[in-house]
Amino acid sequence: MSNLKINMNNFEDVLKSLESQTLRVCVIGIGRIGLPTALSFAKSGLETIGVDINKNLVDDINSGKFPLKDEPGYDEIFDTVIKNKKFSATTSIEDGVPNSNLILLSLPTPMDENNVPDYSALKTVASQLSDILSPNSLVIVESTIEPGFIEDEMVPIISRSGRLNAEKNFFIGVCPENANPGEILHDFTNLPRLVGGINSDISKTIKSIYNFVFSVELVEMPNCKTANAVKLTTNVFRDINIAFISELSLMFEKLGIDTNKVLEAARKKYNFQVHYPGAGVGGPCLPINSYQLLNTAKRIGSTLSIIESGRKINEKMPEHVVQLTSNAFKEYQKPIQGSNILILGISYKPNVKDIQLTPAEEIIKKLQNLGAIIHIYDPYFKSTTTFGIRIEDNVESIISNIDAAIIVTAHDEFKTMDISFFSRMRTPILIDTRGIIDPFSAKEKKLIFRGLGRGK
């Protein structure tokens, strides 16, 4: 069977094309999620092409350089599928789409400076598909989108040129991605995935395709919008619960209660699901996903007051970190103005190289506004300049000039640091926003210590 004869609406055709490995796959957007996805499809034996507007990324991939160094396991898969020519990349969508049967979209869905979700990448690509998608192809959107986006936006745009008619000669569905950066291979091989199609036949087809590539449970949803609603619900659940614990931790701090101790004990109860307070919630998912649901509510005249309050709390946490810092400086009777402050960790979460919407940025800006001189050390960002600051390669060489250190990200490297390291600072102020320092050992070392949510 030639690949362009495969009718993606014909279940038998699709199964045969999987077995004979003639089904051709195009992944548009080969970033953090799209690249591992494309590599997984290629590893299963299906010829896969990745399309991306980032020329440097495409050049790196085609010259054999694996760009996601913090994704364990994928470097080997990358080497294999590049060598056996199952995977290549291109900047030209025309090189990828017309010869493919299955088009996966892993495009970014960020938000603008007013927290309004921005679906321009998906809309641009949908309009390109309208002109170049081969009849009888299947489009699967893996990006995180609002419920209704497939039906109300993608289908009308792809149908716009008049060549393509949904459910007649093109098919569409979703398989929202839910992997965690830094653990993508683990998550792709363990976490259940949601599938939803424009009709139930397409859902079944999508399920069989993903079954071929990933040996995980595939949860078939009644339609696309329900699948996307589940994806957003699970992430927003986390955003709200982090806000709940963060707000509680602010009160516990005043009461002299250690939130760590509260959570350690609370999690012993079978129906308590632990979340941790911190410097704020960043990343490409949680904050945006909350605003996506708020956008949906606004669009249809509903209210989601808990999500709104949760966002306000999470967005206030960087300011609290600055207050803790100011307070510690006051205790030492030293002005922040002109002091050297070391930020430990700028990633929005531990052990990944990713600063999207990281709370570190706001903390840094606020401290700079108070006149502090900021230094950054982050093992994932060596030899680069970020937020206009040259990142330190070696924290050892600067520690004696530092007046305060603030742990913003709980990277493993910081968890294993000996507390005496901080005694070598010029001024012994240590702020821990992630609950990784034992307040008693900080006290023993005579550090001026502030732990977020730990009580004084």
When the beta carbons of 194 and 322 are compared against ligand NAD, the nearer one is: 194
CA–CA distance, 315 with 332 (Å, rounded to integer):
28
Which listed residue (124, 159, 211, 234) binds ligand NAD by CB under 6 A? 124
Q: Of residues 36-55, which lie at the interface with ligand NAD (CB under 6 A)?
A: 51-54
When the beta carbons of 130 and 178 are compared against ligand NAD, the nearer one is: 178
429 bridge partner residues: 404, 448
134 binds ligand NAD per the rule CB under 6 A? no
When the beta carbons of 108 and 451 are compared against ligand NAD, the nearer one is: 108
CA–CA distance, 167 with 153 (Å, rounded to integer):
15
Distances (CA, A) of 38 to 17, 27, 89, 95: 17, 6, 10, 16
Distances (CA, A) of 96 to 16, 27, 389, 426: 22, 8, 39, 57
Nearest to ligand NAD by Cβ — which residue? 31
81-117 as b/e, with b when 16 or more CB fall inside 10 Å?
bbeeebbbbbeebeebbeebbbbbbbbbbebeeeeeb
Which listed residue (181, 197, 451, 453) binds ligand NAD by CB under 6 A? 181
Which listed residue (44, 48, 100, 109) binds ligand NAD by CB under 6 A? 109
When the beta carbons of 30 and 367 are compared against ligand NAD, the nearer one is: 30
Number of residues that bind ligand NAD (CB under 6 A): 27
When the beta carbons of 18 and 184 are compared against ligand NAD, the nearer one is: 184
28 bridge partner residues: 51, 105
One DSSP character per residue, 334-377 reads --STT-EEEEE--SSSTTS---TT-HHHHHHHHHHHTTPEEEEE
Which listed residue (18, 33, 126, 242) binds ligand NAD by CB under 6 A? 33
In the complex, minimum distance from the CB of residue 365 to ligand NAD, in angstroms, rounded to a whole number? 23
In the complex, minimum distance from the CB of residue 137 to ligand NAD, in angstroms, rounded to a whole number? 17
Which listed residue (40, 130, 144, 290) binds ligand NAD by CB under 6 A? 144
Judge residue 56's burial from the number of C-beta atoms within 10 Å of its C-beta, 0-12 exposed, 13-18 middle, 19 or more buried.
exposed
3-state secondary structure 230-244: HHHHHHHHHHHHHHH
Break the chain down into helix, strand, coil percent, rounded to 5: 45, 15, 40
Q: Of residues 394-433, which lie at the interface with ligand NAD (CB under 6 A)?
A: none
Q: How far does Cα 172 stand from its chain's mean position?
A: 24
Q: What angle do CA 328, 330, 333 make, to 5 degrees?
A: 115
- Joined together, the tokens standing for residue 150 give 């497939």
In the complex, minimum distance from the CB of residue 93 to ligand NAD, in angstroms, rounded to a whole number? 7
Amino acid identity of 387? F
Interacting stretch for ligand NAD, rule CB under 6 A, among 173-181, 238-246, 302-310, 437-445? 173-181
193 binds ligand NAD per the rule CB under 6 A? no
454 binds ligand NAD per the rule CB under 6 A? no
Residues in the chain: 456
Q: Is residue 171 within 8 Å of 137, Cβ to Cβ?
A: yes
Q: Of residues 235-294, which lie at the interface with ligand NAD (CB under 6 A)?
A: 284-285
Q: Is residue 287 within 8 Å of 144, Cβ to Cβ?
A: no
When the beta carbons of 354 and 362 are compared against ligand NAD, the nearer one is: 354
In the complex, minimum distance from the CB of residue 47 to ligand NAD, in angstroms, rounded to a whole number? 19
Which listed residue (23, 68, 111, 125) binds ligand NAD by CB under 6 A? 125
When the beta carbons of 9 and 40 are compared against ligand NAD, the nearer one is: 40
117 binds ligand NAD per the rule CB under 6 A? no
Interacting stretch for ligand NAD, rule CB under 6 A, among 42-50, 172-180, 316-324, 329-337? 172-180
In the complex, minimum distance from the CB of residue 16 to ligand NAD, in angstroms, rounded to a whole number? 30
In the complex, minimum distance from the CB of residue 75 to ligand NAD, in angstroms, rounded to a whole number? 17
Of the candidates 93, 102, 100, which has an alpha carbon nearest to the alpha carbon of residue 124? 93
Binding mask 13-32 for ligand NAD (x = CB under 6 A): ---------------xxxxx
Interacting stretch for ligand NAD, rule CB under 6 A, among 38-46, 106-114, 240-248, 274-282? 106-114
Judge residue 257's burial from the number of C-beta atoms within 10 Å of its C-beta, 0-12 exposed, 13-18 middle, 19 or more buried.
middle
When the beta carbons of 286 and 321 are compared against ligand NAD, the nearer one is: 286
Binding mask 307-336 for ligand NAD (x = CB under 6 A): ------------------------------
Q: What angle do CA 73, 77, 81 make, to 5 degrees?
A: 170
What is the contact surface with ligand NAD in residues (CB under 6 A)?
28-34, 51-54, 57, 106-109, 121, 124-125, 143-144, 177-179, 181, 284-285
